A and B are shown apart, each in its own frame.
Chain A
Amino acid sequence: MKFKLKIWRQKNAKTKGQFETYNIENVSPDTSFLEMLDILNDKLIKEGKAPVSFDHDCREGICGMCSLYINGRAHGPDDEVTTCQLHMRKFKDGDTITVEPWRSAAFPVIKDLVVDRYAFDKILQAGGFISVNTGGVPDGNTIPVSKENADESMDAAACIGCGACVATCKNGSAMLFVAARVSSLAKLPQGKIEGAKRAKAMVAKMDELGFGGCTNTQACEAECPKAISISHIARLNREFLCAKIQE
């Protein structure tokens, strides 16, 4: 397969970036998107040019490190996958593919396609944890958790913190991310104790870092590689508002 790639190039956080066009040929349909970028970078290095910087780590859809806004969609045209799990067979031969970094005030571009997602870590540091001592691995079923609660919690815990929700939301809102973290803990007995404090702290941090608010457009849910439901956002709203009213 061959493609025309329009890729965002930006030297560093301070310089203005621009799109550069590259042609790439002889790409197998079974190449992953990131492997395709590796091939391009090999070529660029051989030509003595600067390779394209992009984030990646596990390349198996579990770490949340890869990003990229491909042809107008976070993680590209496939549903419920990360960019590392996206394959070139999802494109047509000869396609022009536009690759942009995540765009959000809270995620500044560092270089080329790499953005600073430290804001997510700051939100987690504000309250995305439990402070009880959990001790060693307990015997199964010593702490009773109903099937529904366990399922809800696990669904929310599937969040890999990639930031596709922020990238996709027209308001650059981190509500789905925060909701997933609050929800996964709120549904378990270990997390319930600090529930009110957590919701308040994480929302306050999210607001402080310049993320937008939620207008319930549902774009995040559709682009989330783990298909996390906006019902968790309803729970976050509930947890936060109750916590504030009881203050």
Chain B
Amino acid sequence: MSNIFCSTIGKKLIMSISGLFLVTFLLLHLSLNLTALVSKEAYKTVCDFMDTNIFIQIMVPVLALGFAVHILYSIIITLRNMKARPIGYSVSNRTEASSWASKNMFVLGAIVLCFLALHLSHFWAKMQLQHFIGGHGKEAYSLLIELFKNWYYCVLYIVWVIALYFHISHGFWSAFQTIGANNSKWIPRLQCAAKIYAIIVSLGFISIPVYFFFGLYTV
């Protein structure tokens, strides 16, 4: 085991496991969000659950750690990979072979990260964080109504989700390839599963701002 994480494959193992952890988290996050489309009461119930459940309290710092590790290693790996090609080609024509997302994972990740900061300050800082520090959390449902009233906030949010779509449409299957859980039969299957997962997650997240922007809710 000793120096497994010194190797390029070991470092990617960290990316892969932290990535799959984030992928799982996204699914949970989405299913909680979708309750906002059901009713104000349903949404309030899950928000209270998130604020008080002991398992969730433990998972919040774990999640933060997962993000930190994923981001730290994405920088280490990307820098090393750039160093391996110090002089580029003057003509490059190999685009058709590989997906656009696979070549731009760092940029896509960075976009996700920028909006994540904004997202945390708009929602988490006013909801769960307040609960943790003993302040008064904002009524969550009215927060949604208030923020998604602005068309530009909705656009930002959707751009964010689209970047996430591309990131996981490659990341999902790539993570299995990295841990070695893949073969010629499963590569196309996992790539298809990655697309399906990415579509479900991104459409799911996009449905929230659309629902509130067009005022489809009843208070």
Contact = CB atoms under 8 A, between A and B. Distances in A.
A and B form one complex: yes
Interface of A: 19, 69, 71-74, 98, 100, 103-106, 168, 170-173, 203-204, 206-207, 210-219, 221-223, 229-231, 233-242, 244-245, 247
Nearest to A109: B87
7 contacts: A19-B90, A103-B87, A213-B81, A215-B105, A217-B103, A219-B94, A245-B1
B24 interface: no
Given A170-B81, A212-B83, A230-B187, A100 B180 contact: no
B94 A215 contact: no
A112 B184 CA distance: 38
Judged by DSSP, the binding face of B is helix
A210 B180 contact: no
Contact of B89 (A100, A214, A216): A100
Given A72-B89, A72-B93, A219-B94, A212 B103 contact: no
Contacts of B177: 216, 230, 233-234, 237
A218 B177 CA distance: 11
Interface of B: 1-2, 4, 6-13, 77, 80-94, 96-99, 102-103, 105, 170, 173-174, 177-184, 187
A212 B81 contact: yes
Contact of B170 (A103, A203, A216): A216
B102 A71 contact: no
A234 B183 contact: yes
Given A98-B90, A213-B80, A241 B170 contact: no
Contacts of A172: 81, 84-85
Contact of A231 (B86, B105, B170, B184): B184
A149 B183 CA distance: 13
Nearest to A172: B84
Contacts of A173: 8, 81, 84
Contacts of B1: 244-245, 247
